[in-house]
Chains A and B, each alone.
Chain A
């Protein structure tokens, strides 16, 4: 597949790749042409089992249900696949996890009105989504959840499944808890309605989880089952109610289910081989059958088996939960020993196999509430991080790191998103290759500063540096975790700082809906405004955290992760699943927020206009904002000219830092369900768009409904007038080691990075930021004019991928509002 040449009027992307072999091209095109499907097979079998396991101990029941389903999934090997196993039977398929949240599905099924959140969050309509709708009309499918196809029979069956889970699912059980126990339940519900929070997260609470794929592969399930047998046998008969026993039995069952799943693929591959006429394909299928009998039961003997072993464990964990941010972690480290010791494997063959893997990862879709589909834009945030330092502090980039970069340069799939643990000691060859990948315009890899994360983790967990270095990875967008060691169910919902500002400026009433959220507290001065904002932030954050603790409790009771826990240290040794504190690191539940830049800008504008320059009174300014600046162009211009974040201006940067510190301090003041303090974090995904849509005009000159600033320390579009180095100088004032996460987007015109010198300059920019030390930076390198053209002519840009927040997405499948936001970001280097 040759990439179409770009229209001449636009600065071309400097690096354009193409699939390395015809099979990869075929797989990619097949993906691009496929509609999105709902596959109810897993939930059907899981529900069947659940109907018959009443009375079983919770953990064992959960494992039984999952294993029961795994054993019955149809093994589907599509044409030209060489890597076995898929999450669903379809090319682009999603599993509807009614056991997590049946409510939103039922709402859709009953065609109830969309709730307020859903009106705020748009999904895209192009690409595979358009194809879905065409096909529905043509072939009598139903469209479900906006963009998925489902057959009428399946829809009817799924309806019954949802009805079964309506009162039993995680969401229902959680509501029973928090609605009764939480005094601020009303505040929470109002908060959802007015856009103070992202929609309830129970439909997809799992993720930010990276299993110990190394342990899974190198030991093999058979040996782990043996260990579990030993542990079970060692329990005296009197300990029948020992909770550890339940976990070990559950774990054994989950692994057995996984083995059966792999065996089914072995049989299917052998069956297809028997009837295959093409000799070459027959050999491939026979090899696949042999591989599936070897792994994951036993350790891999070569690179291909290692890849297959990883993929089985990855999928089995993925099937168990409704994940967002479930990630492969440091795949270059995991697979390198097999690569290095495989005498028959060449670099090119590794690249080709990786190309297939990346198509497979992109083929996984998720279906949740419409709001979360919109927020994530269908992205699963599977983060693959390269390079970094190993446990001894030596640079860990290797040949396979290059192969992975090359495979994504060739394929430009939206999944997995690539990241780099940056360190000065990494090889130039690797770093330059990483910049090459950036220059394709896909927006990855993102660069992360491993040293900053080590400082954070040392401070909060006290783990040895060698452990942190060797296991550091990114789970999801931009949240660092220890792979195979961290509890994976974080609080993935967001608090909207912009809405808190709305409430502070409007005496506790939401200006968009008229809902009163706080008692009246008149403001008269700048200091009042800041203090009022902070008070409201306190309430909003604390309510959010306490609500989530109830959900975590319900999670333990309904959908504890058993299979995944086996591969998170030290669940097996401790005899506890992750939900019971089996993981070594339980400080991963984070409190997320976005929009702080607009708050800082607004407070700076209040101070500048009302206190320093005395251009208008505080009442005038509030009136101006209330009327969305209508007829007040001159005053709005003064507001826009007030100091803005991202220009290395202490007048505003100091406000941001103060609010940031207060947020971190406050977040840490609440313990999570597992008894550890919440970890402060900030990221964005697509929240700036729906959050901004819910907010009135701000004193910083922003109009009502406009998106908020993206990322965490990204400037508000158009207000960073001093170039990218000033953005970095502002951003580097923040102590990034205080938070688990952080995000800075920069957008460059392709001409600013052209050539080898352009690459070197970009690396120097990253190094300078990380010396300061920053934590994360990523780049969009696409001509904005080209993006405008892509809006006008989507048909010419089917495979254009751009960076949104912690993820990349196909341009044509993004909502118009999100497209506008990407175009709107200040472009440097013209």
Chain B
């Protein structure tokens, strides 16, 4: 193994001055491709492991310049644009992007070399150094592109840049074991303990996730921050949260971050020709729900934080 050739990966975004995913000022690298398909996913474009076309209706002038170029784009009716997903994404040149005068068609996902990613990461090294920050590999699932991730982590280590990985945990254990020494912080998502319900909501069994977490905790519990999204009806039941808390306590984990539910990704589903099945109200649960949930974890002896916005005026 190892990087004999310069690896190329598929990512869909790079964000600078990210401050919510690990300490300090960070650069976020979003890998494209995820083994899970969580119903609430706020980055639906992160799931497929190939580039895909996104349509932005807000910019679209319905001039159908794109449809004239490619038969996979279909202008059904005035004001409507449909993309035949089965046929789209197989060409090299994406001429439809060029054809659109308004930039309403976007290619999600770019193949990028380790060198190019590294030059984006190292550009902000002074910011990391002054803030205790670094890079966070997120996604999608970084471990779904293990060689690419391995190369990036090795280069970060050489450059003196601390690296965090946000993972859903659904990964090959040897990869995790091999890369763990190069990772300074794991933001480890844990959603549902009950295997049946986990499969329902994410499309996958949670056995590997729990197994990997157990393995990592044995090696480096101090490097793990557990992340639990509070999904209405999905993860936020008291029984589930209590089970997660108990599981974590037993593994000797000490830190948890509860992520409040939001529907910021809802609009992206339409652009990808998909349907968002979750509530579109951001904070339909009571404002104090994250705080309530936090109590469950604190009772189990974990220190927790929540990203929920404090009520106005407080």
Chain A positions near chain B (C-beta within 8 angstroms): 3, 5-8, 11-12, 16, 633-634, 636-637, 648, 722-726, 729, 751-752, 757-758, 760-761, 764-765, 767-768, 771-772, 828-829
Contact = CB atoms under 8 A, between A and B. Distances in A.
6 contacts: A11-B309, A12-B312, A725-B17, A752-B17, A767-B130, A771-B130
Contacts of B309: 11-12, 751
B127 A764 contact: yes
B274 interface: no
Contacts of A12: 309-310, 312-313
Contact of B130 (A3, A634, A758, A764): A764
Contacts of B123: 648, 725-726, 729
B127 A6 contact: no
B17 A765 contact: yes
Contact of B19 (A11, A729, A829): A829
Nearest to B129: A768
Interface in B271-314: 309-310, 312-313
B313 A765 contact: no
- Residue with the greatest number of chain A CB neighbours at <10 A, chosen from B25, B133, B312: B312
A726 B24 contact: no
A761 B131 contact: yes
A5 B19 contact: no
Contacts of B16: 722-726
Q: Which 9 A-B pairs have the closest CB atoms?
A: A723-B16, A764-B131, A633-B101, A634-B101, A5-B313, A764-B130, A12-B312, A725-B16, A6-B312
Contacts of A725: 16-17, 25, 27, 123-124, 127
Nearest to A2: B313
Contacts of B101: 633-634, 636-637
A637 B126 contact: no
Interface of B: 15-17, 19, 23-25, 27, 61, 101-103, 123-124, 126-127, 130-133, 309-310, 312-313
A804 B5 CA distance: 51
A148 to B, nearest CB: 36
Contacts of B133: 761, 764
- Residue with the greatest number of chain A CB neighbours at <10 A, chosen from B103, B124, B126, B310: B126
Contacts of A16: 313
Contacts of A636: 101
A723 B15 contact: yes
A34 to B, nearest CB: 27
Given A722-B16, A725-B27, A764-B24, 9 more contacts: A6-B312, A6-B313, A12-B312, A16-B313, A637-B103, A725-B127, A758-B19, A760-B24, A764-B130
For chain B, what secondary structure do more than half of its interface residues adopt (helix, strand, loop), or is it mixed? loop
B102 A828 contact: no
A633 B62 CA distance: 13
Contact of B126 (A3, A5, A7, A768): A768
A768 B123 CA distance: 12
Contacts of B15: 723
A7 B312 CA distance: 8
Contact of A761 (B24, B27, B103): B24
Contacts of A758: 19
B146 to A, nearest CB: 27
- Residue with the greatest number of chain B CB neighbours at <10 A, chosen from A636, A761, A772: A761
Contact of A764 (B25, B61, B310, B313): B25
A633 B99 CA distance: 11
B281 to A, nearest CB: 11
A751 B310 CA distance: 11
A765 B25 contact: yes
B104 to A, nearest CB: 10
Given A12-B312, A765-B127, A768-B130, A724 B103 contact: no
Nearest to A723: B16
A642 to B, nearest CB: 13
A762 B262 CA distance: 25
A12 B15 CA distance: 23
A765 to B, nearest CB: 7
A701 to B, nearest CB: 11
Contacts of B127: 725, 764-765, 768
Nearest to A830: B264
A757 B19 contact: yes
Given A633-B102, A637-B103, A764-B131, A771 B126 contact: yes
A12 B314 CA distance: 9
Contacts of A829: 17, 19
A119 B61 CA distance: 34
Nearest to B65: A634
Nearest to B264: A830
Contacts of B124: 725, 729
A766 B313 CA distance: 27
A634 B61 CA distance: 12
B68 to A, nearest CB: 13
Contacts of A637: 101-103
Nearest to B61: A633
B130 A723 contact: no
Contacts of B24: 760-761, 764
Contact of B312 (A5, A634, A726): A5
Contacts of A724: 16-17
Contacts of A7: 312
A635 to B, nearest CB: 8
Nearest to A12: B312
A660 to B, nearest CB: 22
A751 B264 CA distance: 14
Contacts of A8: 312
B150 to A, nearest CB: 26
Nearest to B16: A723
Contacts of A633: 61, 101-102
- Residue with the greatest number of chain B CB neighbours at <10 A, chosen from A5, A11, A16, A633: A633
A760 B132 CA distance: 10
A723 B127 CA distance: 13
Contacts of B132: 764
B283 to A, nearest CB: 8
A637 B65 CA distance: 14
Contacts of B103: 637
Contact of A828 (B17, B23, B61): B17
A186 B145 CA distance: 68
A557 to B, nearest CB: 53
A646 B276 CA distance: 35
Nearest to A732: B126
B23 A757 contact: yes
Nearest to B102: A633
Nearest to A9: B282
- Residue with the greatest number of chain A CB neighbours at <10 A, chosen from B16, B23, B61: B16
B17 A3 contact: no
A16 to B, nearest CB: 7
A191 to B, nearest CB: 37
